[in-house]
Amino acid sequence: MSDPAILSAEALVKTYPDGDVKAVQGISLSINGGEFVAITGPSGCGKSTLLHLLGGLDRPDGGEVFFRGEPLARMDLDAFRARRLGFVFQSFHLVPTLSALENVQVPMFESELPRRRRAEQAKRLLDEVGLSHRGHHPPRRLSVGERQRVAIARALANEPTLLLADEPTGNLDSASESEILALLTRLRQERGLTLLIVTHGSVIASSADREIKLKDGRVVSD
Amino acid sequence: MSFFTFILRNMLGRPTRTLLTVLGVGVGIAAVVMLTGISWGFERSMSAIYQSRGIDLIVVRAGVSDQLSSTLDETQIDTIRAIPGVEQAAPSLMDAVSFEEANLVSVLANGWEPGGLLIKGLKVIHGRALEQGDTRAVMLGRVLSLNLGKKVGETVSIAGEPFRIIGIYESDSLFESGGLVVPLRELQRMMGREGSVTGFVVVAKPKVDPRALGREIETKLKGTAAIPARDYVQENIQLRLARAMAGATIAVALALGSIGLLNTMAMAVFERTGEIGLLRALGWRRTRIIALLMGEAATLGLLGVVAGSLLAVVGMRGMMLSPTSRGFIDPNLPPAAFAIAALMGALLCVLGGLYPAIRASRLEPTEALRHE
């Protein structure tokens, strides 16, 4: 089911100025379209930094990231993040003053959709993640599992081809973790998504097509 | 959800801060609207005294700052009237009296010739105007009669002397409506200024240039200044003071309001660095981040303008409760004062919102997300 490389990286380097820490040290990899890849490794090994570089949330100090063969450095990164990419965070990052339904609509401001279509699309996505009955609730009135479902619906708002998730089950209990994993797997199949997940847990890693292990900012196994 | 709904949600999500900012901006705007309104009302009132009678020139002693401190020989009116370009001229003695029982201080008292140009400019609404031979008779302005609670036929004590109220008048000028008129001779006697007046008013004949006529009067009457009515109003010392105060208040209010709004917006950006990082991570362009924060600043500014305008209207009504204000301050604010408030609100939004908005838009998503 995999297509040729949708996302690749060549000799990526990222150094943080505070403490002169080399978070990523010359990583090269290639992710094929439709693949489910888990990036694993101990804390501080550079997993999240690598995901942020691959998702265009941060710029590398060296090397290059390519999306369908085109360097991200030459692309409109805002448009890339808005249209091609969905990002799910460990701590959900929902806007506290908005309802679940409104949170899902936030990325759609960068789309051409008129207001009514945005609301319809958000309802459909909440339905897809099983939260259509909780649309008008603010994040504080949702369980942590429900919050992550809203965040996943939001990541799909602009119909991306790539879904990147940074420890999406890191704040969840094991029951919720299984539910979120099942949801991501189903969405990947239904939508033909390429799924790239940073995780500590073995449950997600064992469900992935491929596991890339990092240590000290380098790939130790792929 | 519209973009504006997002803006409103952000503001309503922090109600205390939003309310305090709106109040802070509102108080500054109210101060500006009130002082501007008072200053313009003052100017309008002064202009009305002369415009309603077609007065072209005010003659006062040269070098005085206002008519109250001017002293001229009453007989000089004959010299003025003899000038061919003069249509009409009238002497005027101005002073200030108090009505302590009504807690009114500095009420304008005019000593005018009965049947003269100045008295003819008043609109008598009750009783009659002063006539030749009236003694111990007074006409009260409508506002003063209301403040004193006096009617035609009653007696009022002026500087310790009883005066019979023979008429109540209305005037376009609040100063006149808040003041009184007695025969010139009576005021001269009461103030110990027999033979003296504080100035003359002159109406030029049609097609006569008032400035040229003024120069002629100054040549014939050494030591006088014949000032065109408009210039006299513009150069009036109280008016200039009121204008200067209004200008200074605008500057101070603008500075304080900008700092307040800047602080609020900067705090909002700081507190929401993670949220701004999220929006950037979700693909929001820098311009949309700026639009979001400027939208919030604009909404705060707009609410501040509305709150400030309401405070100003209430404040002006409140000032009318003070006896010292009644008769001097026009509680009706001109539309231009509200226009200044709106302009100030817009300036505050730009000054207070732009820097934090630009700063926020420059945040890289990862850097901003790390703030949480």
pLDDT confidence tier of residue A1, bands split at 50, 70 and 90: very low
Put simply, the answer to whether B281 touches A105 (Cβ < 8 Å) is no
Contacting residues of A for B275, CB less than 8 Å apart: 93, 95
**B271 touches A at CB < 8 Å:** no
Task: Name which of A52, A85, A119 is nearest B366 (Cβ-Cβ).
Answer: A52
Distance from CA of B13 to the nearest CA of A (A): 5
Q: At what angle do helices B286-319 and B3-12 cross, to 10 degrees?
A: 60
| CA distance readout (Å), A103 to A94, A136, B194, B325 | 7, 10, 84, 54
| Residues in A 15-34 with any Cβ partner in B closer than 8 A | none
More confident residue, A156 or B268: A156
CB contact under 8 A, A96 and B13: yes
Residue B368 has pLDDT above 80, yes or no: no
Please determine, for residue B65, whether its predicted confidence score (pLDDT) is greater than 70.
no
Task: For residues B14 and B269, give the distance between their C-alpha atoms in angstroms, rounded to a whole number.
Answer: 13
Q: Which residues of A touch B372 (CB under 8 A)?
A: 91, 93
Q: Is A58 on the interface with B (CB under 8 A)?
A: yes
Render pLDDT for A22-63 as a digit per residue (tens, 0 to 9).
889 999 999 999 999 999 999 888 999 999 999 999 999 999
Would you state the pLDDT for residue B325?
65
Summarize pLDDT for B141-184 with one digit per residue, the tens: 998 998 899 999 999 999 889 999 999 998 878 778 889 999 99
Q: Say if the Cβ atoms of B364 and A58 lie within 8 Å.
A: yes
ipTM above 0.95, yes or no: no
Cβ contact, residue pair A91, B364, below 8 Å: no
Q: What is the dihedral angle through the alpha carbons of B172, B177, B181, B187, rounded to the nearest 10 degrees?
A: -120
Contact A118 B1 (CB under 8 A): yes
Lowest mean pLDDT segment, chosen from A125-134, B184-193, B202-211, B356-365: B356-365
pLDDT tens digit sequence for A151-183: 999 999 999 999 999 998 888 888 888 888 899
Q: Work out the minimum CA distance from B366 to partner chain A, whole angstroms.
A: 6
Q: Which residue has the higher pLDDT, B310 or A16?
A: B310
CA-closest candidate to residue B191, choices B80, B112, B115, B111: B111
Residues 337-366 of chain B with CB under 8 A from chain A are 364-366
Place of tokens 């999240």: A48
Please, what is the angle between helix A144-155 and helix A115-128, to 10°? 130
Q: Give yes or no for residue B33 having a pLDDT over 90.
A: no
Asked if B364 and A118 come within 8 Å (Cβ–Cβ), the reply is: no
Which of A81, A91, A93 is facing B283, going by the closest CB pair? A81
User: What average pLDDT does the segment B124-133 reach?
Assistant: 93
Q: What is the rounded distance in angstroms from the CA atom of residue B137 to the CA atom of residue B279?
A: 78
* Angle, CA B214 vertex, CA B208 and CA B216 arms, to 5°: 90
Helix segments in chain B, DSSP class H: 3-12, 15-51, 76-81, 117-120, 142-148, 174-177, 184-191, 210-220, 229-235, 237-271, 273-281, 286-319, 335-361, 365-369
Query: Considering chain A, what is the average pLDDT of its residues?
Result: 90
B309-330 per-position pLDDT tens digit: 999 999 988 887 776 666 667 7
pLDDT score of A2 more than 70: no
SS (H, E, C) B297-351: HHHHHHHHHHHHHHHHHHHHHHHCCCCCCCCCCCCCCCHHHHHHHHHHHHHHHHH
Between B336 and A212, residue with greater pLDDT: A212
Q: How far is B281 from chain A (nearest CA, A)?
A: 6
Q: Count CB pairs under 8 A between chains A and B.
A: 79
Query: What are the C-alpha distances in Å from B254 to residues A44, B270, B339, B347?
Result: 49, 23, 15, 8
Q: Nearest Cβ partner of A79 from B279, B283, B372?
A: B283
Residues 8-47 of B with CB under 8 A from A: 9-10, 12-13
Distance from CA of A59 to the nearest CA of B (A): 9
Q: Does A89 touch chain B (CB under 8 A)?
A: yes
- Any CB–CB contact under 8 A between B3 and chain A? yes
Residues of chain B with pLDDT > 70, as a percent, come to 96
CA-nearest residue to B8 within chain A is: A97
The pLDDT of residue B336: 85
